[in-house]
Amino acid sequence: MKILPAIDLIDGKCVRLYQGDFNQTTNVGADPETQLQTFIKDGAEIVHIVDLDGARNGEARQYELISKLCAQSTVPIQVGGGIRSLETIENLIQAGADRLVLGTAALEDEAFLREAINQYQEHIVVGIDAKNGKVATQGWETVSEIDYIDFAKKIETLGVQTIVFTDISRDGTMSGPNVEALKTLLEAVTCKIVASGGIKDNADIEALEEIGIEEAIVGKAIYEGKVTLKGATT
């Protein structure tokens, strides 16, 4: 199991949201550069960075900071938030990002998703953020009528190989991951599934590993010391 510690950015600061609510933010950790180095020192094999300003506003607002973090990192960086153009994809890849998580644009602009896969397939990951089984967009502030399993099957046919699945209702709550939803998703598609949302301790990591999850993004539980990176990755 690879644990991806999360660095969520708003206005250049590391924050955590509660259930995706931008009105419930908490500053966590050190400054982003120091936090990145701490995660690497603690044994992170991949780090997950999200531009929450970009996710909400539809463009990469913190490109300069993310580029700096990519340049400083000695491990692969996965970046999400506000990636809605081929130009942004190209810029982030040139900056050193290894994997790019497409969210709103993957759902709302199929032509863009197809072209992104065509040009940069090895870098493209699609994030499925769901609430009550329905896919959410626009920084989680809009919930569609599209079922998360139907969407996963569709993007698999387009060539998507990796999906980050987040249960919004559990994100930042440390109430445990939605194992059943993840298991259903694993059974529905052949894509690699990265779990996100609600992970509270190492027992949750073990539960995810038991159903076949190979990677998990962890935020609040990492910052609170409930999940440790040292010796956690295999």
Q: Which residues are catalytic?
A: 8, 129
Q: Give helix 179-188 / helix 202-211 axis angle, nearest 10°.
A: 30
Return d(Cα 64, Cα 72) in angstroms, integer: 12
Helix residue ranges, H only, the chain: 32-41, 52-57, 63-72, 86-95, 104-108, 110-120, 148-157, 179-188, 202-211, 220-223
Rounded to the nearest angstrom, the gap between the alpha carbon of residue 136 and the centroid of all alpha carbons in its chain is 14
In the Cβ-directed half-sphere of 199, how many Cα atoms lie within 13 Å?
A: 34
Measured CA to CA, the distance from residue 176 to residue 66 in angstroms comes to 29
